[in-house]
Structure 1
Amino acid sequence: MTERTGVFAGDDPFEIARNWLAAAEQSEVNDPNAIALSTVDAEGLPNARMVLLKDIEDAGFVFYTNYGSAKGREIAAAGRAAFVWHAKSLRRQIRVRGLTEIEDGEQADAYFASRSLKSRLGAWASAQSSPLESRAALMAKVAKVTAEKGVNPPRPPFWGGIRIRPLEIEFWADGAYRLHDRFVWRRDATDGVWSVERLSP
């Protein structure tokens, strides 16, 4: 493997990513786990939006969403997604591209239960990405759901996790005179062996 030192050191890209996120949690003002998630629609037109990365596992990156949302539908159709995580305070970023899978089991149930009650009720009330008549109409739906679901609503069947199993992870750190350091990890399959190479800035 390409020799790497400092913040790039290590033989596990997921551990490196966890270390970078932990460092950002000490320096970023808001949402250190925010990522810009990219998908493509049926015509191949890209979409991007900010979501919160909730877990860096030993083999993937997990976020949660309404499966009926634009991103949920596009991921279901394409089976792949990409994201970039940027820590402005650290002058670092991580780019990920990979294959997707649904996480709608106990792990999703546990995360949903950990959210605030209002967030759980909001997940039931919002038909994410669909047209909405007014804010008042949304709040009326929230009131209706609150009356129906009570204080311990279960996870909606249309809401859960999406796991990105990467085929490519790039770590980037700012360098003097724009001579940045970039290392890309690549593999041919989600259970394959990683190769690492340095990229020109």
Structure 2
Amino acid sequence: MKLSDMRREYAMDALKRSDLADNPVDQFNLWLEQAIKAELTDPTAMTVATVDEHGQPFQRIVLLKNVDDDGFVFYTNLGSRKAQHLECNQKISLHFPWHPMERQVHITGHVEKLTAVENMKYFTSRPKESQLAAWASKQSSRISARSVLEGKYMELKAKFAEGKIPVPTFWGGYRVKVDTIEFWQGGEHRLHDRFVYSKQDTSTTDWDISRLAP
């Protein structure tokens, strides 16, 4: 079958204005809870898009670690490619592709770095293996072979066999401060339902909600 011939109908659900919460974070948490209950694979996985100094966009999958009215939180190596991009351009885009439920959520905004206390609180809650991996990987750097990475991991495992593993100075989190959140529900005949929350005035907690053409 040719790629151009591949298509399917979207008919699982519909989304009406009356279905939506006034606050987009409440709406997101509802959908996320439903995705978790539906046992979707990695429901907290999101595509994170950044732009380098030449205007070239990059995307990668990152796990959401917290969400509240202050924003969406994720963690990374602060020397990684995404972190370097965010040093020059704090604008960011997130995308949750919940395909089995025929849903997507798209977020635009800008990032703020988390505090050292916030970083430490999350880092110490991670499994020891994940803590070691954060130390072992100089994310986005070129390596000659996987054995180099595995060797570094084993070296660190022996070094920190006793006692706590300190938080790396090159590791931390970002909070995405939201400008817009779009909720997409697949519809029959490609007449999808799309609603976008936007805030024209950052001094208010009120959100404008608009329906978008599919």
**Same fold at TM > 0.5:** yes
Distance 1:121 1:104 in 2: 21
2:23 matched to 1:22? Answer: no
Change (3 A) 1:104 1:132: farther
What is the RMSD of the two structures over their aligned residues, measured on CA atoms? 1.6
Distance 2:106 2:39 in 1: 18
Equivalence map 1:2-21=2 (5 Å): 4-6=17-19, 9-21=20-32
Select the residue among 118, 122, 130 that pairs with 2:129: 118
1:57 corresponds in structure 2 to: 68
Shift of 1:108: 2.0
Mapped contact 1:67–1:73 kept (Cα < 8 A): yes
Gaps spanning 5+ residues in structure 2: where?
1-15
Deviation sequence 1:80-130 (CA, Å, 0-9, x none): 110111111211111001010111332221221121111100100110000
1:129 corresponds in structure 2 to: 140
2:101 matched to 1:90? Answer: yes
2:81 corresponds in structure 1 to: 70
Distance 2:87 2:34 in 1: 33
Distance 1:105 1:15 in 2: 28
For CA contacts below 8 A with separation 6 or more, give which structure has more relative contact order: 2
2:207 corresponds in structure 1 to: 194
Residues paired across the two proteins, number: 197
* Identity, % of aligned positions: 39
1:174 is matched by which residue type in structure 2? G
1:157 corresponds in structure 2 to: 169
Distance 1:28 1:84 in 2: 19
TM-score (ref. length: structure 1)? 0.92
Shift of 1:137: 1.1
Select the residue among 160, 185, 189 that pairs with 2:197: 185
TM-score (ref. length: structure 2)? 0.86
1:175 is matched by which residue type in structure 2? G
Between 1:88-97 and 1:180-189, the stretch displaced more is 180-189
Equivalence map 1:32-47=2 (5 Å): 32-47=43-58
